[in-house]
Amino acid sequence: MSYQLYRNTTLGNSLQESLDELIQGQQITPQLALRVLLEFDKAINNALASRVKTRINFTGHLSTYRFCDNVWTFVVKNVKFKSSLNAIECDRVKIVACDGRTTSARAED
């Protein structure tokens, strides 16, 4: 399963706008655009799972949390992020965390 969260990033929005222009110009079909977006979802999820190695620690005050459909949502206030390279502080952060395991791996638990 690939999550569609990254469609709302700058890269994802740019891709969707480009696909919309191609559809409007009748250069591709809406079905092909959907297939491209599904491939984007798979590729970005795989890349983040396999290529990102940086670890970040953070502290803050947990304001609210929610768990629905295997997705955790946290709102944290007065957050301090620390990595080996730098530190960043901000007033409020919303964190959305999805189960990264495959469906078959979840079934084995």
Domains, the chain, ordered by start = 5-51 (1.10.287.190), 57-99 (2.30.18.10)
| pLDDT higher than threshold 90 for residue 6 | no
pTM (2 d.p.):
0.61
3-state SS, residue 101: coil
pLDDT score recorded for residue 72? 92
56-84: per-residue pLDDT in tens?
A: 899 999 999 999 988 899 999 999 999 88
Distance CA(61)–CA(22), nearest Å, equals 45
| pLDDT higher than threshold 70 for residue 102 | no
Expressed in percent and rounded to 5, the helix, strand and coil fractions of the chain are 45, 35, 25
- Provide the phi-psi class of 23: left if phi over 0, else alpha when psi is between -120 and 50, else beta: alpha
15-60: per-residue pLDDT in tens?
A: 999 999 999 999 999 999 999 999 999 999 888 888 888 888 999 9
Q: How many helices (H) and strands (E) does the chain have?
A: 3, 3
